[in-house]
Amino acid sequence: MAKKSTGIKLIIVESPTKAKTISKFLGKGYKVLSSFGHVRDLPTSTMGIDIEHGFTPKYVIPKKATKVVAELRAAAKAADEIYFATDEDREGEAISWHLRELLKVKEGKVKRITFHEITKEAIEHALKTPRDLDLRMVDAQQARRVLDRLVGYELSPFLWRKVARGLSAGRVQSVVVRLIVEREREVLAFKAEEYWSIEAAFAPLSVIPSEVEGSVFQAKLHSKDGATLDKMAIGSEKDAKAILKALDKAAYAIETVDKKKTKRSPAAPFTTSTLQQDGNNKLGFSAKQTMMLAQQLYEGVELGEEGSVGLITYMRTDSVNLAEKFREEAAEFIKKEHPNSVSAEARVYKTKSKGAQEAHEAIRPTSAWRTPESVAQYLDDRQNKLYELVWRRAVASQMADAEIETTSATIATGTPYRFRATGSIVASPGFMSVYQTDMKENLLPPLNEGDALEAKSIEPKQHFTEPPPRYSEAALVKALEERGIGRPSTYAPTISTVVDRGYVEKEERRLKPTELAILVNDLLLEHFATVVDYDFTAKMEDTLDAVAEGAEEWVPVIKAFYGPFHANLEVKEKELSKKEITETATDQVCEKCGKPMIIKFGRFGKFYACSGYPECKTTKPFDEKDKAAQDAAQEQAVGEVCETCGAPMMVKRGRFGAFLSCSKYPECKYTKQIKKLTGAKCPKCKEGDVIEKRSRKGRNFYACSRYPDCDFAMWSKPTGELCPKSGDLLVFAKDHKIACSNKECDFIKDAPQKEE
């Protein structure tokens, strides 16, 4: 007997927010449900891969998904048609495949639809043009999942046995750690070199008093005997003073004036990678935060009476292409709102990134007419900032070039030396009227060849070369993309993982490896070179792309990697001992039993321990910094009792250093933070001390010790001194400077040089 038609068309998406946004575009015959992400996955407690039989994954339904799966099965049974509307990337394709396997519906009943934006037009078009599941994309995702599981579930336990319990290793994660460790070693190996510059302030002698304002301009010593001086040409104070002596009776005049106009073109609209980079550089967001906010904007935000609206297109993409419809819409908007910045022709961008795949359009607003100002009231502060960034970049990409007028003046001195002054102004803003760049205008006064000049000041300035900076998240994302390691959609979770696992710390928004990261990296580099090899990891991404394109079968790819990897792991298991890796002999002796002390490496770094363990359990901090912190903590703990049970408090060490813990642990689990003083008094309440604290995201900040009674907090580290101009706290700023914490105060000075 044929099943009676219900007239219901079921659409399944991953997210409840996405489901809500799509529902508003559809009629009564449609029912939209969410799978709440993956409905099947590998088990967490076991490998979950049948290595002996073609690396077959053994998928299970996670406990949290059982209720959802039951609801989806019931809804699928009652529906006439089922549309899988998960994201159009490998992950989304895999979720749809898992849904099909679980729901066990007839072949012709299931349809796959995709779209790059959640708008009425896009949803209606998708429903009219369904397709079959792309099993090649499913295979590529499955290959990545199996590969990462094999590495993680075999290499991580090896690290537990040979280094410390709780450690993890990963195919991309470990390469990211290697990049950060190698940059740290560059920083530590760097030797600063001294160099000097000669900087002057000039004014035309012809200027009368009423015209003095704006007539003084800056110039730098540029050449000698016609040859340009490079940055290191003046190597010492002695050299600088010799030049000043040569200029002692110089006569200054404008020798040449060159003016030229250059054009600056707008950048392409955002891809996943460039959005993460600008989110970090311009807004201070982590890659994880940027992707979370982009997901919210894509899936839909409540816009008052308009309801839930998807504000941007799909945010996991390598493409810089824009739909013709958006280019036309943007052109109309620009013509109306910025008539002087209309591009002569539509701008079309081509993707240049290696292995570009995933979605087929750049990240852009779903409507050029939906300006940041028009939606600001409906978004929280972070959503608004990211939407504005996306909107401005996409609209600007269709605008005219900016024209920059540059003036360059050479200043003769009557000696072999010449100065150079340069000024730049925006002659025609073009796209820069919408999307701000890092260009700063520097206007020179009117200058003509032969004009005599007065030197208002000539000063030698000392400089030191600086080491390469530690990676910011933006710089790390760029490095990963350039090397072809991972894919942009994996960058955010990978960076988050290495921080969460204790391999990397954030210092002033820069990524610093822990001692643990250095030890594990060196171990993997010496004994598992393939796993952390940059070229191998990049080539594996190319191979996974080939699987997605149908040019490779995924099982042989996994087999070719796993055989040598597993064989090497078995050899290293026998060859290496934990003692050899984590212990170092010293000439110190134990104060309690007299046996030699050794340096051991634990989960939280190095420490001294008695070689007589377990009979003697004496330990002490490894370096003076730790010792000072622990001594201070011990002093603080003297006489301090647990606020929960009244037992004495004691000092313990954890992932983030020393802390106070109840001596009755584990019966009583009360802990207390050890205050890290900065030497500054709270400027708000005048009673508390400004102490160093750590945010949930692992970033250091500085706050009043009397919190919550006083809510003073700041990101910059105070020096402990007050500003001589405003009386506010002085803080450590960028480029080795000390600045006033009051943004309205312009006080700034060089930080003292560290002694070698």
Cα 75 from chain centroid (whole Å): 41
Q: Which amino acid is at 459?
A: E
Neighbour count for residue 26 (Cβ, 10 Å): 16
The Cα–Cα gap between 403 and 590 comes to 72
Hunting for tokens 């319990």 — which residue is that? 165
Query: In this structure, what are the phi and psi dihedrals at residue 656, rounded to the nearest 5 degrees?
Result: -110, 25
* Catalytic residue chosen out of the listed positions 30, 252, 298, 314: 314
Task: Evaluate whether 589 touches 616 at the Cβ level (below 8 Å).
Answer: no
Alpha helix ranges (H) inside 300-347: 324-337
Q: Which amino acid is at 95?
A: I
End-to-end Cα spacing for the chain: 89
Of 366, 387, 327, 394, whose CA–CA distance to 119 is shortest? 366
The Cα–Cα gap between 323 and 327 comes to 6
The string of DSSP letters for 25-62 reads TS-TTEEEEE--S-S-B--SSS--EETTTTTEE--B--
User: CB-side exposure of 426: number of CA atoms within 13 Å?
Assistant: 15
Cα 550 from chain centroid (whole Å): 33
3-state SS assignment for residue 406: strand
State the virtual CA torsion across 100, 105, 106, 108 in degrees, nearest 10. Answer: -50
Cis ω on the peptide bond leading into residue 614 (within 30° of 0)? yes
Cis ω on the peptide bond leading into residue 16 (within 30° of 0)? no
The string of DSSP letters for 200-239 reads EEEEETT--GGG-TTT-EEEEEEEETTEEP-TTSS-SHHH
Task: Evaluate whether 740 touches 718 at the Cβ level (below 8 Å).
Answer: no
Of 285, 700, 734, 717, whose CA–CA distance to 507 is shortest? 700
Q: Radius of gyration over alpha carbons of the chain, in Å?
A: 32
Task: Evaluate whether 114 touches 88 at the Cβ level (below 8 Å).
Answer: yes
Establish whether 314 is a catalytic residue: yes
Cis ω on the peptide bond leading into residue 708 (within 30° of 0)? yes
| Total residues found in the chain within this entry | 756
3-state SS assignment for residue 313: coil
Of 488, 474, 434, whose CA–CA distance to 285 is shortest? 474
Q: Which residues are catalytic?
A: 314
